[in-house]
Structure 1
Amino acid sequence: MRNALFALLFCLTPLHAAELTLELPGGTRTLDTAALLSHPKAQDVTIPDDVSYKKTMRYRAVPVAVLLEGVKPDEHLQAVALDGFAAELPAAPLLNHKGARAWLAIEDPARPWPALAKGKPSAGPFYLVWTDPKAARIGPEQWPFQVARIRHLPSVAERFPALLPAADTSAEVRAGFVQFQKNCLACHRLNGAGDAQFGPDLNIPYNPTEYLAGDFLPRYIRDPQSLRRWPQGKMPGFSKEAISDEELGQLIGYLRHMAGRKVAP
């Protein structure tokens, strides 16, 4: 669902003019492509099974942790792409120096990356990638590309109380809320709450648990095109590596719970 806008932005945004804005506790600063490529911590990293390119990729990249001055592990960040895609990211994994480690890949104008697909731009100018992502169960929504801004924000629960389950709900539903933030919130709103600009609201006017009965909803999440073949459909499938069967059950439990907590946007 991001394709058309990607193509327009690709035409309008020359690689040499790319800038990354960091809105952090110590203030706001902007770094351009040249500054990041020449950063003293920049190095070449190899990413097997790159989430966006579906193959091994090699990038010039800077550890994300060195860019996040003043950010603490228990805090929250959001990576915003050129088209408005907004990935909600707990700070702790981004600050890791071992295990699953986050890198900001920088597209060099002299060596542009390949297009993501025919008729699409590349993942540049900046792309958040991970080495050893399985060590921290890093999901596909935690690999935002065409990143323009990384900002320090209050938690999702603080910013969007309309997303909260009832205070006395089960541990499974609360765990489902965590899965919703990780896997859904970058593309979808719920009760009109969220910063996403892509997918439909998942509660207003109807929650998917209200119109996808039986096992159709988990099947749809695993492989959307298996139930609704649509050439323009952009929702990715979520494998068991991205979200386990137990976690998928928690997510659906949260959605079912929220069907009874509709709040008009």
Structure 2
Amino acid sequence: MRWSLFLLALAVTLVFGNANATNAKPWDLIISAKFEQAQVEVGQNPILIGIIVDQKGSPVQDVDVKIRFVGESVTTKTDKDGKFQYEFSIPKEGMFDANISASIKNLKGMGKATIKIGNGITTSGDLYYESDFERTIKNDTYKSLKQKQYQKYIEAKNNRLEKLSESAAKKLIIEEKRSISEQKKLSEVNKTKPGEGVYSVEKQQQYITKIDPRIRNMTKAQMEYTRQIHEQAKYFMNKTLENGGTVKEAKKA
């Protein structure tokens, strides 16, 4: 008898379990959203764009779209193509998430998009915990749990700031080394500036060996070209003078 009841219960579970699996909501909404630009400057309004489709991939019109972004909550609707768009005005800088929920009749969906504003490191967690956190959880049933989460947030923030400081220090050292290198290079170039005049092949070679190797071949070619022009001009001047021409005519030649 017990086995019969057990088998009956198992059969009922399997039947209704399969029925629930078969009736799993194929109409849940799928939200694809992003910001037009992954990063914007402070003062530049971030624009969130997205599209909502059903499980078949068909756009859904007139969906109520609720967006929470940096303490602001707004509502908009999808157009005939299932698309939505919203422009925010955020004066803060940092990395922020836009949490999106959508519903129409019995259809629901959720999504998220992330953007970086400016070069700061403020996060959504910073805004939440720094907005009088201790006062807001004073009589909260989950105070103990939230305080543990707050402690984790503080540790993560300190680690983030430490890494940022290390990164900034390394960047500063690299910039200083680069600046010193550029100054040395400029100093060497200034020492070897040939100035105006005509140089012998020997002096030209001495100058070439002292300049930056990256521009050595190009400089050498330019100087050789200039030397050739000078030699040609000198040849035609001498020819003009030999043929009885004046100095003025020789210079024009």
TM-score by length of 1: 0.18
Which structure's CA Rg is the greater one?
2
Q: Answer 1 or 2: which has greater helix percent.
A: 2
